[in-house]
Structure 1
Amino acid sequence: MSEPIEDLIRPGWSVEPLGHNPFNAATGGIWRVRRDTGTAILKIAAPPRPPGNHPPHWATSDDPGHWNYWRREPLAYRSGLAATAYAPAGVRAPVLLDTVERGDGSVALWLEDVAGRPGMECSPEQLGDLGHRLGVAHAAWLGRSPGQGWLARDWLRAYTLSRPVPEPQRWDHPVAVRSWPAELRDGLRLLWERRHDVLAATDELPRTLSHHDVWPMNLIVAADGPVLFDWSFVGPGPIGEDAANLILDTFFDGLVGVDLLDEVVSAVLAGYQRGLAPAVDAEVVRRAVALCAAAKYFWLAPGMIGALARRDTDRSQHYDSRDDLSMFAGRRRVLELLMAWFRLALP
């Protein structure tokens, strides 16, 4: 539910709500506001709320190292980290116009309204260019950290292990059986069972500074290059994670046609390997992307089945608005890629 913003809006200004994850308690709403001098984006960072207002797995925290620390994005902008972290590689954040500490404890961010091509409309070549720039940026941060105490401590492990997956899983659920062949279901079940092994393997990968939420909904390609939004998860992470997420999350929610999957995989992986060279061997990069993909999404298939078992069929507030059968079938090719990467990374 969006926060009231009347105290931030002057007479004569117009407000347009923008889509975002309504379940994440850290975000109190996002709007495009037409002001006297043009448009700007208004985003509210909300402090922790009483239980029951949001799903428990999207709760925020006052702990600066928590994966969903509610002040991290305002701090990333105010410190300049969002603007400068990947700037040498030609990737920037929206310009911070102003911040307002509000009486209810929340923080209002006024951000540049970036003009350009939305990530959902980007070509495989443009996504490959972003992959290359991410590789260059990650190479520059290898083995070091900006040092701020509010960076996410262990985002990949903390986020994925917080996802709601009921036990035992119904791998024989009729929708799953109809949509996914037995070999795929067996592989997804094995991935879930080996989730701690997968996460442990990512700990051995070279470390860098990760955005942790690179996907088309957080991307606009402007005249001066890619602009990444939502810096609320930034922190140290293994190489490969941002590139893996860019590839898979481009398709999981049905926002981009899965017929482009092979082209996007090829373009992003080649670009990312090129960006990290010669600091990291190409085969190490390939395995890192595969391993991080498995680590980021080991929970997804059993979570999908669990939602069916809970009869959670309301998709009106999800990015993916397809019905259950269409969603399960539409994600099949992406999950098969995930399984191929899992077998490659952790035989």
Structure 2
Amino acid sequence: MTMTLPTGLTDLVRASLGDPLAEIADQHAELLHHGPGSLSTASLHRVRGTTTDGVSWSFFVKSIHAINHSPWYAKMPEELRADAVANFPWRADADVYLARPSLPCGLRLPRMYRLDDLGDDRLVMWLEDVPVAPAAWDLDRYRAAALLLGHLAAARPVAGRSSAPREPLNRSLRHYCAGPVAGLFLPILRDPATWRHPLVARHADPLLRTDLLALAGRIDPLLDALDRLPHTLVHGDASPMNLLVPADGSAEFVAVDWGWPHPAAVGFDLGQLLVGRAHTGELDPADLPAVHEAIEAAYAAAAAGIADPGEISFGYVATLVLRSAWTAIPFELLGQEPTPELHDLFRKRAALARFIADLGRSVTAW
């Protein structure tokens, strides 16, 4: 895929280097993989080069769009499309970079050098390309991330709980469940042909479909229970891939790909922290229990001022189920050639689905 480089690239390079006289000697654009499941990311590129003085420069370029431009949109029932377009928070990431909110010590944002509005609900962000340290995601790193996410929640509480009919606090999650979950993911889960597919049948245990569909029957009660919890502003997609460990030591983590502009229940950010590396197959399913326990304890220690451990645990597990139970198995990959590598991914993802289903079965209404 060829990327058309913009006019004014020299100005961007000068701003990023802090050199008003820099001139570009060469430039390259590299298309980066972003996975088939994204609803709002159109493309990711790394645009890099050198100056005439031999200094290297680089940008991370992210193109985003409204959900109606996504390949998933055509698969959505027609009656759900207008609501999805109106409510899916496709530009949340860009809005955070524009607002530059205050973050806890140890957490920072990447710098956004330029935002191009292409019209028709399409944006292109020219971001700092953060050099990442070769840091392992061991339990200590998971704890450090969860601690900062807990501090983030504690620093941005939203007043009030929902105990009577009113506009729900967790509005984005309700729209997600009513739109993509109800219109795209649950029909796939309910289809017997899905579970007969060799990539699924070989690795999913016989009761997984039953347990996931039983959880689907609890979506509305879980949403109502979440409304009664303390709420905060959140990152929204705090997976390890979006918590970069900067090589220059400028922070513990650089938080990218913010994805949730509305208040969410305490514990919300822990779900993506748990499943992020499990989605890619990097986290062995056998390690899920230890990561789960470590991040919940660290977050609870940081967020103790706004919620008690029981509230945090319920908010974490309930939102994990509502966001991730239906997509734990990568159904979007069923059309690919069933290589040994793909079988291994499905094995790990089926184990992730089982882990989430078991957590969901244990959670009771708050």
TM range, smaller chain:
0.7 to 0.9
2:196 is matched with 173
Please identify, of 5-14 and 334-343, the stretch whose mean Cα deviation from structure 2 is larger. 5-14
Distance apart, 1:135 and its partner CA: 0.7
Residue identity opposite 1:313 in structure 2: G
For 1:274 and 1:196, locate their aligned partners in 2 and report how far apart those are by CA, in whole Å: 29
Structure with bigger gyration radius = 2
Match of 1:28 in 2: 42
Q: Distance between the aligned counterparts of 2:221 and 2:83, measured in 1?
A: 30
Deviation at 1:89, TM superposition (A): 4.5
Give the C-alpha shift of residue 231 in structure 1.
2.0
Aligned-pair CA distance for 1:196: 2.2
Cross-structure match for 1:123: 138
- Classify 1:137/1:60 alpha carbon distance in 2 versus 1 (closer, same or farther; 3 Å): farther
Shift of 1:38: 1.5
Q: Which has the higher contact order (CA 8 A, sep 6+)?
A: 1
For 2:125, what is the secondary structure of its paired residue? strand
Partner SS, residue 235 of structure 1:
coil
Unmatched segments (≥5 aa) in structure 1:
146-151
What aligned pairs does 1:53-68 form with structure 2 within 5 A after superposition? 55-56=74-75, 66-68=87-89
How far does residue 94 in structure 1 lie from its aligned partner after superposition? 0.8
CA contact (8 A) 2:45 2:62 kept: yes
User: Kindly tell me: are residues 14 and 157 of structure 1, through their superposed partners in 2, closer, same or farther at Cα, counting changes over 3 Å?
Assistant: same
How many positions carry a matched residue from both structures? 325
Q: Which residue of 1 aligns with 2:33?
A: 19
Aligned mates of 1:299, 1:252 — CA distance in 2: 13
Residue deviations 1:281-332, cap 9 Å, x none?
A: 112212221212122134236884xx69xxx42289xxx9953x43442124
Q: What's the counterpart of residue 6 of structure 1? A: 5
How much does 1:65 deviate? 6.6
CA offset at residue 250 of structure 1? 2.5
Matched, 1:199 2:220: no
Task: State the partner residue of 2:59.
Answer: 40
Residues 142 and 208 of structure 1 are in contact (CA less than 8 Å); yes or no, is this contact kept in structure 2? yes
Q: Which amino acid aligns with 1:181?
A: D
1:200-245 deviation line (CA, Å, top 9, x unaligned): 2222221111222111222211222111111243321111121122
Instruction: Specify whether residues 297 and 63 from structure 1 end up closer, same or farther in structure 2 by C-alpha distance, changes over 3 A only.
Output: closer
In structure 1, what residue type is equivalent to 2:282? L
Q: Is the 8 A contact 1:205 1:288 kept in 2?
A: yes
C-alpha displacement of 1:272: 0.7
Deviation at 1:4, TM superposition (A): 3.9
Contact between 2:143 and 2:295, CA under 8 Å: does it hold in 1?
A: yes
Query: RMSD over aligned Cα, in angstroms?
Result: 3.7
Give yes or no for contact 1:291–1:346 (8 Å, CA) kept in 2.
no
Structure showing the higher helix proportion among its residues = 2
The match for 2:112 is 96
Q: Secondary structure at the match of 1:290?
A: helix
Match of 1:253 among 280, 299, 306: 280
SS in 1 for 2:108: coil
Could you tell me which of 130, 141, 154 is aligned with 2:171?
154
Report the TM-score, using the length of structure 1 for normalisation: 0.78
User: Is residue 326 from structure 1 mapped to residue 325 from structure 2 by the alignment?
Assistant: no
TM-score normalised to structure 2 length: 0.75
TM superposition shift of 1:184: 3.7
Structure 1 residues 16-75: Cα deviation after superposition (integer angstroms, max 9, x where no partner): 222224554633322222243611212223467668696555x99899972233x43322
Q: Is 1:343 paired with 2:361?
A: yes
The farther-off stretch of 127-136 and 327-336 is 327-336
Q: Distance in 2 between matches of 1:55 and 1:315?
A: 23
- Describe the shift of the 1:335–1:21 C-alpha distance in structure 2 as closer, same or farther (beyond 3 A): closer
Q: Write out aligned runs for 1:135-284 (5 A).
A: 135-144=150-159, 154-161=171-178, 162-163=180-181, 164=184, 165-166=186-187, 168-170=190-192, 173=196, 175=198, 176-222=200-246, 223=249, 224-284=251-311
